[in-house]
Amino acid sequence: MAGKPVLVQELDAVAPQESLAGRDLCSIADLTPGELAAILSLAHDVKQNPANYRWALDAKQMVMFFEKASLRTRLTFETAINTLGGAAMFVDQTQSPLGERESLADIARNVERWVSVIVLRTYAHDTITEMAQYASVPVINALSDLEHPCQAIADFMTLEERFGDLRGFNFTYVGDGNNVCHSLMLTAALLGAHCTVGTPKNYAPKADIVAQARAIANVTGSNITVVNDAVATVKGADAIYTDVCTSMGFEHEATKRAPIFKPWQVNEALMAHASPSAVFMHCLPAHRNAEVTDAVLDGPQSVVFDQAENRMHAQKALLLMLLGAGAKA
């Protein structure tokens, strides 16, 4: 696609370094195409030139409130701000959801006086949007039941490393139309990549998120497609992405879901329908030989550990942008 449509040019009229400073990231849809491109560009530079950013967030404080268990999200956020000169504080909310002991408004009004940024990993998406409503410092969605924007930014950073410009790229997602799927659709649309989502019936992504992604895609020149056939989903794909069939909070449905999702397993036979240069992606943790086989997860087409590494670099860029540090000259 040559050039940007007029609407996108208007959306990106303000420099991303200025437009993102002090903002929240509750949803990928909070970003314009230009802002997302700027975050990704900065993420690549931070990865290539980490020493240039060693003290960019000197004395900045980040608090993380996590209602859900975490490996990658916690460690990559902590490492990100620590290596930018700031500090991280972790508050374990797995036994006491945010807002239970004290109202979210009161938490926000306290915490904003002590820290520079709030990172939340929650069940209810409303917890994130309400914290953002009351806190005067940036709030970052590190996962909710509706979206996982930080994961999606790192994933498309990984694809840019491998394929370059993603306009017209054929991205596919197979499995449960969950929070990760939602953010991936929105990110693909913002970048002008085509996105095909394949799910079993009754497990499609939320209709309002699909509509939102399609509205963005109409501007950027991409297509968002939702189907109920695994082979049709991945035919000719440049990337095949899957996630667990049962997300955190839905464990009670695991027995019911297992036989429904079995035909949607990403295995060598399914990968064979994609482009020969296609990559396999997963946000991790993976249930080996459930949604994906060992042969694919550990195979030469897999970039899952590149994705995991890039969580740190993408989140560095996000923190730099939201805290007004921006790119180095």
Sheet of 87-92, strand order: 87-92, 61-66, 117-121, 139-141
121 belongs to the catalytic site: yes
Residue of 283, 307, 313, 315 with catalytic role? 283
pLDDT of residue 253: 80
Q: Which residue has the tokens 């690549």?
A: 44
151 belongs to the catalytic site: yes
Residue of 151, 265, 307, 315 with catalytic role? 151
Output DSSP code: residue 227.
E
pLDDT of residue 329: 43
What's the CATH class of domain 151-307?
Answer: alpha beta
Nearest to residue 292, comparing CAs of 319, 258, 265? 265
Residue of 74, 182, 257, 311 with catalytic role? 311
170-174 and 87-92 beta bridge pairing: unpaired
- Exposure of 158 by Cβ count < 10 A (0-12 exposed, 13-18 middle, 19+ buried)? buried
Domain boundaries, the chain: 14-147+310-322, 151-307
Domains 14-147+310-322 and 151-307 share a fold: yes
Residue of 72, 74, 125, 148 with catalytic role? 148
Residue of 24, 145, 176, 243 with catalytic role? 243
pLDDT of residue 215: 98
- Cα 115 to chain centroid, rounded: 24
Nearest to residue 278, comparing CAs of 234, 220, 319, 320? 234
311 belongs to the catalytic site: yes
Distance from C-alpha of 278 to C-alpha of 154, rounded to nearest angstrom: 18
Residue 210 in contact with residue 226, Cβ under 8 Å? yes
- The domain defined by 14-147+310-322 folds into Rossmann fold (3.40.50)
Helical residues (DSSP H) of 122-247, grouped into ranges: 125-134, 149-163, 179-191, 207-220, 230-234
307 belongs to the catalytic site: no
pLDDT of residue 246: 80
243 belongs to the catalytic site: yes
pLDDT of residue 10: 43
Residue 149 in contact with residue 188, Cβ under 8 Å? no
pLDDT of residue 8: 42
Mean pLDDT for each 10-residue chunk of the chain (329 residues)?
36 66 97 97 98 97 97 98 98 95 97 98 98 98 98 98 98 97 98 98 97 98 98 98 83 86 97 98 96 98 98 98 78
Residues facing residue 141 across a β-bridge: 120
162 belongs to the catalytic site: no
Strand runs (DSSP E) across 36-189, as ranges? 61-66, 87-92, 117-121, 139-141, 170-174
Residue of 72, 121, 257, 282 with catalytic role? 121
pLDDT of residue 327: 57
pLDDT of residue 255: 86
Nearest to residue 147, comparing CAs of 212, 65, 90? 212
Exposure class string for 36-55: b at 16+ Cβ within 10 A, else e: bbbbbebbbbbbeeeeebee
Distance from C-alpha of 83 to C-alpha of 308, rounded to nearest angstrom: 17
pLDDT of residue 11: 45
139-141 and 194-198 beta bridge pairing: unpaired
The tens digit of pLDDT for each residue in 232-265 reads: 999 999 999 999 998 766 777 888 899 999 999 9
Give the pair of three-digit tokens for residue 137: 């410092």
pLDDT of residue 75: 98
Nearest to residue 119, comparing CAs of 147, 94, 91, 96? 91
The Cβ of residue 323 has, within 10 Å, a number of other Cβ atoms equal to 22
Percentages helix, strand, coil for the chain (3-state, rounded to 5) are 45, 15, 40
